[in-house]
Amino acid sequence: MDSPFGLLAELTYRCPLACAYCSNPLNMADYSDELATHEWRRVLAEARDLGVLQCHLSGGEPLLRRDLVEIVAAAHDLGLYTNLVTSALGLSRERAEELRAAGLDHVQVSIQADEPAVSDRIAGTRSFRRKIEAMGVVRELGWPLTVNVVLHRQNIDRVADVLALAEDVGADRVELANTQYYGWAWRNRDALLPSRAQLEAAEVVVRAARERLRDRMDVIYVIPDYYSRYPKPCMGGWAARQLTVTPNGDVLPCPAAQSLPLPRASVREEPLERIWTGAPVMTAFRGTDWMPDPCRSCDRRELDFGGCRCQAFQLTGDAARTDPVCHLSPDHDLVARAVEAANAQSRDEDPRLVPRPHRVRALGD
């Protein structure tokens, strides 16, 4: 594709939760100078002109932005389909009605488990009841509802009950997404990576639910990269279909790419179209010319594009290496050892989850 169809607008990295699997940057202070309302309006207009059709408003917690309604209205007026990706803390009926009037099209609410105490422990704060109440408001106001659950060693055994919860709240779609090991999740990998037995049991449950619910609810299930024979085609290929704008205006091909040693590109310094077409952060791994072997000579090179550049860098220190998830990668033993350790340890031996520190105010507030 010559232009992106999706924009992930990360409005803030502030968040009332303290999830131990958070993949947002560790260096929060670098993103405290958030784009102002008028800057987001310009970014949205430039994104529309570039070909973007979908705008996902995320964070952190986007509801912490006092101008969220204005940003939604601006995206709606531009003809963009808008999706709010939220923990739902702060989604009061009054706020929800304002967002509905502004033209918000869809709401995705995250929840950590099906049972209040477990969910609150993983989230690092009491939030379960407020999430359920907010989901009720979403349904009452007529929005499509997606329930997102990040799965890991601490909650994957509850996947049947999680699916039952999604049914109970009337979700149109449920995303069961196994943890991606970036940011804070990398620090907690040993406590989060599930065992093979856990995954196999979960897949049986999910397969049956898909069949039973096929006419009522979409069930999306993403297995952990570490258990795949081949890597996933991250974001449909590097800077091929989507782009991310971070709270301070940096532009990235995916949310995790801020960790890579690539030149910075910012909407505060250049138009979005120029960044998309020519900035090194966008062109570095676009297509297949950059690939080393075994990717260069692999028949799958235009299917998985060498896998995830951020994961390759996280595991090897070189973003141009073949994703170690791939069984053909010369670095695959790095993943194999982590999987072996996850299957060797008993649940009683699991390391304690280290919650991410809370941050709900911008620096200077």
Annotated binding site for [4Fe-4S] cluster: 15, 19, 22
What residue numbers does the annotated binding site cover? 15, 19, 22
CB atoms near residue 327 (< 10 Å): 12
C-beta of residue 28 within 8 angstroms of C-beta of residue 261: no
The amino acid at 150: V
- State the chain's maximal CA–CA distance in angstroms: 57
- The structure tokens 């999680």 sit at 162
C-beta of residue 313 within 8 angstroms of C-beta of residue 334: no
C-beta of residue 151 within 8 angstroms of C-beta of residue 220: no
Is residue 150 exposed (0-12), middle (13-18) or buried (19+ Cβ within 10 Å)? buried
Query: Rg of the Cα trace of the chain?
Result: 20
Go through the chain and tell me how many residues it has.
365
Q: Residue 276: which of 302, 305, 241 has the closest Cα?
A: 241
Helix 196-212 with 332-344: angle, nearest 10 deg: 90
Q: Which residues contact 357 (CB under 8 A, 6 or more apart)?
A: 18
Give pairs for 293-301: CB < 8 Å, separation 24+: 294/322, 294/326, 294/328, 294/329, 294/330, 295/322, 298/328, 300/230
- The structure tokens 């949205």 sit at 44
C-beta of residue 124 within 8 angstroms of C-beta of residue 17: yes
The amino acid at 65: R
E strand or H helix at 344: helix 332-344
Distance between CA atoms of residues 68 and 44, nearest Å: 13
